[in-house]
Structure 1
Amino acid sequence: MTNFSEQQKQLKIQQGIRKQEDELVISIQIALDNHNSYGDLEESQFRNIVRVSDTTESTEVIKNFLLYQLGRDRKWGRGEDSLAFIIIRDIETKIKNIAITIAEYAKTDDPDDLKNIHLELTRRYLGYGARYLVYKRKGEI
């Protein structure tokens, strides 16, 4: 692939990601609005998952960390209806499907591109969640 066509592909990927940001924000807000799915989750605990996402190249590592948190205490909820499982399902379905759509838009069938798109979307989703949780804890009336 020429340098120019690689740049074009990366530009389309970034455009595709930006076009899907509303969907990511809405999805994490829906998850966090369901307060029955989690306990007294603190902002710092949610930021920990954001840090994990920023320091790995694997969505599996992120999901593993969520399961670890779920096993530690009830702040992430319990069982299949927990916030942790809702986030894992979003990563595995909603976010994965958005990543596939973006890869198709960018006309790439490179599995590394798909993995990188999926990871970037997951990072953004979690980052938007951290912001929204601050609102839920401190700004909601």
Structure 2
Amino acid sequence: MSELSTQQQLKIQQGIRKREDELVTLIQIALDNHNSYGDLEESQFRNLVRVSDTTESTEVIKNFLFYQVGRDKKWGRGQDSLAFRIIQDIDTKIKNMASKIVQNANTDDPDDLKNIHLELTRRYLGYGARYLVYKRKGEV
């Protein structure tokens, strides 16, 4: 990130925390549509989370999803797949959230937008991993 003032850093952290409910809801909606994916295992979703934690690029995360779709049908196929939905959320809704946070923090450094977008994406995927455990083992 650029050299941000303490005030800007606080606004960014506050903006990220304020969007957590939205992130949880987004991934839950995606995972609730079980017709969009096959027998997706928790470990496969956790692998996606690990990829997000070890990269500084949302493009790498999306590339991993494309790879998974090519390997088997557990992530779904085509534009109605869970993988496509996650990619769409990353490219649109999550990126829009990041843009609003950047605007509110009054920073125009593209690296700030990229880093906030990545942080929101990581949280979104982490919440998804938790929710998938519920969907697989806890749902009545």
TM (norm. structure 2) is 0.97
Q: Is the counterpart of residue 48 in structure 1 residue 47 in structure 2?
A: yes
Deviations 1:42-91 (A, max 9, x none): 00000000000000000000000000000000000011110000000000
1:26 equivalent in structure 2: 25
Three-state SS of the structure 1 residue aligned to 2:92 is helix
Partner in structure 2 of residue 118 of structure 1? 117
Matched residues in 1 for 2:111 and 2:69: separation? 29
Q: Which runs of 4+ in 1 moved over 4 A?
A: none
Amino acid at match of 1:94: K
Q: Give 3-state SS (helix, strand or coil) of 1:109's partner.
A: coil
Map of 1:140 onto structure 2 = 139
Separation in 1, partners of 2:134, 2:113 = 32
Task: After TM superposition, give the deviation of residue 18 of structure 1 in Å.
Answer: 0.2
Q: 2:78 aligned with 1:79, yes or no?
A: yes
CA displacement at 1:8 relative to structure 2: 1.6
**Unaligned stretches of 5+ in structure 1?**
none
Any stretches of 5+ residues in structure 2 without a counterpart?
Answer: none
Give the superposition deviation at 1:9: 1.1
Give the letter aligned to residue 67 of structure 1: F
Percent sequence identity is 83
TM-fit CA distance, 1:7:
1.9
Q: Secondary structure at the match of 2:5?
A: helix
Q: CA RMSD in A?
A: 0.9
Query: Does the residue aligned with 2:40 lie in a helix, a strand or coil?
Result: coil
Taking the aligned partners of 1:11 and 1:58, their CA distance within structure 2 comes to 23
Aligned length: 138
1:96 aligns with 2:95: yes
Residue aligning to 1:61: 60
- TM score, norm. by length of structure 1: 0.96
Letter of the 1:128 counterpart: Y
